[in-house]
Structure 1
Amino acid sequence: MRTFNTAVLTLQELQNGNVDAAVNDAPVMLYAIKTGNLAGIRVNSQLLTEEFYGIPTPLNSPNLELINRGFTTILENGTYRQLYQKWFNAEPPELPATAPGIEQATANRVESLSVIQSALPLLMWGALITLQLTALSAVLGLIGGSLLGIARLSKVPLLRWAARAYIEFFRGTPLLVQIFMVYFGIPAIMQQLGVEFSLNRFVAAVAALSLNCAAYVAEIVRGGIQSIDIGQTEAAHSLGLGETQTMRYVIFPQAIRRMLPPLGNVFISLLKDTSLVAVIGFEELFQQGQLIVAANYRPFELYALVAVIYLALTLLSSQVFSYLERQMNPTERRQSVAPTEPGGVYSGAA
């Protein structure tokens, strides 16, 4: 079962063949089919459930009588039936005078601590999904970004400009739009060409995040390589090393140490950006929070808990990258392993 925030995404998921059926309000479905490009979708004539819409007002609101009088008027003079036929191309269902059971409805108050305790297991599961998305997307983005960064420094103009065009596109468009393009856009285009094609949600999420991440990593890699003094390249060439060997053994090992801080920033941004895949029904940390809020209407406690979990994940990521920076710093590494005199004075060679 997949959950979306809007009816249009639900119907697009059905149109792309990723689900077998979609459940939504009958008027919404009828209007979408009447006005949209949704060939091949039909509405089941049998209603799965019967629910009623209402307009909530504050207690003892003076507008309540006016609203009820307006509804009574359009129901009795046939305006309601005309409007329903115009917009939904169907006959309106019979409406009761009052919604069944509304008089017995009572508010069910739940303590904040109880809400947090019941939501924590689902949120932790969502956090695990978030980490999986981030880790896989970061690895693929790092590989693709490294290749793009090297391509930006290529002496072949076509390769250099192609890499630049890629980077400018993915840095210049919102990640949310890219996710929609990958998950909903590509299958729709393929189907218009007569090719049956659909994307798995996880594959689509990783693809969109990786493509976006690679654009930022590419510029970090390019800047890191260019920051190495040209004398390093000349010295490597004087020793008989080729271009590939120079990059692999001399330039890149030095550049990676300088790239770690900005790469850490990209990783943390990627971790937070995984919340955007909630729009395609992927139940990561943020989407789990949204689903729980929709069930109990306690947004402050739950979104605060989601924020705390994201904060814990980002702090942990920062510590990991700080550790890697220390490990790759030759000066600090020598100081941490070099012997010292009894007085505590460093005795190793500088």
Structure 2
Amino acid sequence: MTAAPRSTDKPDFPWWLVAAGAIALFLAIQIVLNDLYSQIFTIVSKGVGITVFVTLVGFALATAIGLLLAIMGLSRFLVLRQIARFYVEIIRGIPILVLLFYIAFVGAPGFVVAWNFVAAPLIDAGLVEPMSVRDFSLLWRAIIALTIGYSAFIAEVFRAGILSVDAGQVEAAKALGLSPVQRFRFIVLPQAIRTILPPLGNDFIAMIKDSSLVSVLGVADLTQMGKVYASGSFRFFETYSIVAYVYLLLTVGLSLGLRALEKRLRRSDEERSGGGD
């Protein structure tokens, strides 16, 4: 006799969240009562601002470039489609860490050489100063690398979301005389955004974690501050426990918020479809 399949209508109680909350509470108590944990948290938290800055700026730029690439990839012009596809496939095939090193130590020096070459007449006339590699901060090299890396993935998110819109509605908008920009703004994007938001939120959370890679360039983010303290005090367990704790506060908190938003959007869609029936 085979067991009856378990019903999936009722979701499991989130025991994992209870366990995670208990661990978070324990570490919070340690930070408040234990001088060592308190000191580590104070030092490590100084890098939170850089982590948040890198993530917000990098993700905003990656989203803008990703949207542009998605539009190019769906263009009626073959050249634009091939350029977008070339960019997406090549960048997605390069690990973020390798891309970070390439932008930092190859791309940035190359940009400086190109800039000085183009601005040579102005430099010779004394109107501008020649740029050196040191003028290109490691922080912005890291942001550019994350922007380039994530823009390829976000482009695919936008492309899938745009293609999910019913073609009949686009044809109806075209019959009404709407321009391509108006069709995209008023018909395609408002509907595609519901499909795009969940994976876009996941990419944002992933970028928070991948922002830790900027520490290899010496950028004083959350991971780098922990690395410096641990190497000087040899308190590796305590330090990296606090670093992981702070990252989890950021990522799990955002993940729960994203799930709540998905449920709200799903409920709104069900109410709308029910009202239409």
Is 2:54 the counterpart of 1:117?
A: no
Shift of 1:326: 4.9
| Bigger relative contact order (CA 8 A; separation at least 6) | 2
Is 2:62 the counterpart of 1:141?
A: yes
Paired letter, 1:140? L
Stretch of structure 1 that moved more, 146-155 or 239-248: 239-248
Q: Which residue of 2 aligns with 1:157?
A: 78
Note if contact 1:217-1:263 (Cα within 8 Å) is conserved in structure 2: yes
CA distance in structure 1 between the aligned counterparts of 2:141 and 2:210, rounded to whole angstroms: 14
Is 2:64 the counterpart of 1:129?
A: no
Q: Which residue of 2 aligns with 1:307?
A: 244
Shift of 1:238: 2.0
CA distance in structure 2 between the aligned counterparts of 1:237 and 1:163, rounded to whole angstroms: 25
- State the identity as a percent: 36
Is 2:95 the counterpart of 1:174?
A: yes
Is 2:231 the counterpart of 1:288?
A: no
CA distance in structure 2 between the aligned counterparts of 1:304 and 1:212, rounded to whole angstroms: 28
Q: Which residue of 2 aligns with 1:197?
A: 132
Equivalent position SS for 1:148: helix
Higher helix share: 2
Cα distance, 1:248–1:285 mapped onto 2, change above 3 Å: same
Match of 1:248 among 185, 192, 197: 185
Paired letter, 1:286? T
Specify every segment of 5 or more residues in structure 2 that has no aligned partner in the other structure, as ranges: 1-32, 117-130
Specify every segment of 5 or more residues in structure 1 that has no aligned partner in the other structure, as ranges: 1-111, 336-345
CA distance in structure 2 between the aligned counterparts of 1:166 and 1:349, rounded to whole angstroms: 42
Note if contact 1:187-1:197 (Cα within 8 Å) is conserved in structure 2: no
Map 1:12-161 onto structure 2 (within 5 A): 113-161=34-82
Stretch of structure 1 that moved more, 176-185 or 186-195: 186-195
Shift of 1:190: 5.3
Between Structure 1 and Structure 2, how many residues are aligned? 228
Paired letter, 2:244? A
Q: Which residue of 2 aligns with 1:103?
A: none
Paired letter, 2:219? F
Match of 1:222 among 140, 148, 159: 159
Cα distance, 1:158–1:301 mapped onto 2, change above 3 Å: same
Shift of 1:202: 2.0
Match of 2:254 among 295, 299, 317: 317
Tell which structure's C-alpha radius of gyration is larger: 1
Shift of 1:237: 1.4
Equivalent position SS for 2:147: helix
Paired letter, 1:123? V
Note if contact 2:108-2:141 (Cα within 8 Å) is conserved in structure 1: no
CA distance in structure 2 between the aligned counterparts of 1:165 and 1:243, rounded to whole angstroms: 24
Note if contact 1:130-1:271 (Cα within 8 Å) is conserved in structure 2: yes
Aligned-pair Cα RMSD in Å: 2.5
Paired letter, 1:164? R
CA distance in structure 2 between the aligned counterparts of 1:138 and 1:190, rounded to whole angstroms: 22
Shift of 1:240: 1.7
Note if contact 1:141-1:217 (Cα within 8 Å) is conserved in structure 2: yes
Shift of 1:129: 1.5
Deviations 1:275-304 (A, max 9, x none): 101111101011111001011111112111
Is 2:120 the counterpart of 1:183?
A: no
- What TM-score does the superposition give when structure 2 sets the normalisation length? 0.75
Match of 1:207 among 128, 136, 144: 144
Note if contact 2:40-2:242 (Cα within 8 Å) is conserved in structure 1: no
Stretch of structure 1 that moved more, 316-325 or 298-307: 316-325
Paired letter, 1:321? L
